[in-house]
A and B are shown apart, each in its own frame.
Chain A
Amino acid sequence: MKVTILQFPGTNCEYDTQHAFEGLGATTEIIWHKSESIPSDTNLLVVAGGFSYGDYLRSGAIAQFSPVMKAVSEYANNGGKILGICNGFQVLTEAGLLPGALKRNDGLHFISKHHHLKVENNDNIFLEKLNNNDIVNIPIAHHDGNYFIDPDGLKDLYANNQVLLTYTDENGNSKNPNGSVDSIAGVCNKEKNVFGLMPHPERAMETILGSDDGVKMLQGFLNV
C-alpha cells in the first residue's frame, strides 16, 4: 500500500499525514507540487492540509494551477483514489474535482478544536470501516470551512450518497460550527474515488492525543 502526499508551498500537514499512514503500515512518499507526474505505484493520493500559497486570493485557488494538478486530474479521471484534508479539500473544490466551495466561517473566526461528526454514508472505501450514524471525534482547524453548494447541487449530493460526514454534538444532534450547508463536513464525487473533508483524521490517531477515531477512517484506504 503506497500513499503519495502532495506538498505545496505552505502545506503543513504532510508529515502528520505521513506519520498517520505509516503507523497503519503503509509506505509513503511526499511529492513537491512541481512534479509533473504521480508515482505509478500510488494507491492513494492525499492532498494534505495547510495554507497552500498563503491562502492568497482564495484558499486553494492558486494551488489548483500548480504543475502537479494536471497529473492529479488525470489520476482522478482514471479512477485513482484521492483524499483531500482541510486545505486539500479546498484545493479539490477549486480544481473542480469535488462539487461545491468552501467559504469563510460564518462566525469569521479561525476554529481549532475537537468536533464530533456523524457518518452519513459508508458505502465508499473511505468510511466502510464505520457504520452509518456512528459518531467520531476529530479535530477541526480552519478559517474557510463553510461548505456551500447550490440547492440543485445539494439534491444531487443526497441522491448519490455523496454527503460523507456532518458536524454534530456528541449525541449526533446537528451542531454547526462554521455555517456549512446542512452542517456538511465532507463529501465525495459521484464516482466515489475523490474524497474531501475539513476535519483532520490524521490528527486523531492516538487516544493520548484526544482521540483515535481517525484510525478507522484512514484504514478504509488500506485495502485499496
Chain B
Amino acid sequence: MIKAIINVSLKAGVLDSQGKAVHHALDSLHFKGVNDVRVGKQIILKLDTDDKTAAMENVTQMCEDLLANTVIEDYEIELV
C-alpha cells in the first residue's frame, strides 16, 4: 500500500488572506521573525497499489481534475 500526501496551497502571487490573518495573529502574540505565512490544506490518500510510478500518475490526475483548482492553487504530492 502507498500513502499519498498531497499539499494544496494558493499559488504564489495569489493573495492568501488566511495566511495574512494568521501572520497578524502571530505578530500580536509577539512571535518575531516570521517572514511570511501561507495556509493550505493536506489531503491523505491510501492507495491500493505498490507501483509508485502508476500511483504518481494517478494522483496527479486526481489533483488536476478535482483535488486542486489549478486556476488559483498549486499542489505537491509525496508518496510514502
- Produce 1/0 per residue, A86-103, CB < 8 A to B: 000000011000001101
**A58, A94, A105 — which one has the most chain B CB atoms within 10 A of its CB?**
A58
Contact B15 A179 (CB under 8 A): yes
Known: A61-B66, A107-B17. 7 other contacts (CB 8 A): A58-B69, A61-B69, A94-B69, A101-B71, A104-B18, A108-B17, A179-B15
Task: Take A61-B66, A65-B66, A108-B21 as given contacts and tell me if A100 and B15 are in contact as well, using a CB distance cutoff of 8 Å.
Answer: no
Chain B contact residues: helix, strand, loop or mixed:
mixed
**Do the beta carbons of A106 and B17 come within 8 Å of each other?**
yes
Q: Which residue of B lies closest to A99 (CB)?
A: B71
A146 to B16, CA, bound (A): 11
Judge whether A148 is part of the interface by a CB distance below 8 angstroms.
yes
Name A164-190 residues within 8 Å CB distance of B. Answer: 179
Check: B44 CB closer than 8 A to any chain A CB: no
Residues from chain A with Cβ under 8 Å of B17 in the complex: 103-108, 146, 179
Name the B residues within 8 Å of A94 (CB-CB): 69
25 pairs, A vs B, C-beta closer than 8 Å: A57-B67, A58-B69, A61-B66, A61-B69, A62-B66, A65-B66, A94-B69, A101-B69, A101-B72, A103-B10, A103-B14, A103-B17, A103-B72, A104-B17, A105-B17, A106-B15, A106-B17, A108-B17, A108-B18, A108-B21, A146-B17, A148-B71, A149-B71, A150-B71, A179-B15
By beta carbon, the residue of chain B nearest A153 is B71
The bracket for how many chain B residues form the interface is 10 to 19
Q: What is the bound-complex CA distance between A61 and B41, given in angstroms?
A: 15
Interface residues of A (CB under 8 A from B): 57-58, 61-62, 65, 93-94, 100-101, 103-108, 146, 148-150, 179
**What residues of A have a CB within 8 angstroms of the CB of B67 in the complex?**
57
A45 CB to nearest chain B CB (Å): 23
Give min CB distance, B38 to chain A, whole Å: 13
- Write out the residue numbers on chain B whose beta carbons fall within 8 Å of the beta carbon of A148: 14, 71-72
Cβ of A146 to closest chain B Cβ, rounded Å: 8
Expressed in whole angstroms, the minimum distance between the Cβ of A130 and any Cβ of chain B is: 29
Distance from A64 Cβ to chain B, minimum over Cβ atoms (Å): 8
Chain A proximity of B2: nearest CB distance (Å): 22
Contacts of A146 in B (CB 8 A): 17
Chain A nearest CB: distance from B24 CB in Å?
11
Min distance, Cβ B13 to any Cβ of chain A, angstroms: 8
Neighbouring B residues of A101 by C-beta, 8 Å: 69, 71-72
Q: How far is the CB of A162 from chain B (nearest CB, A)?
A: 15
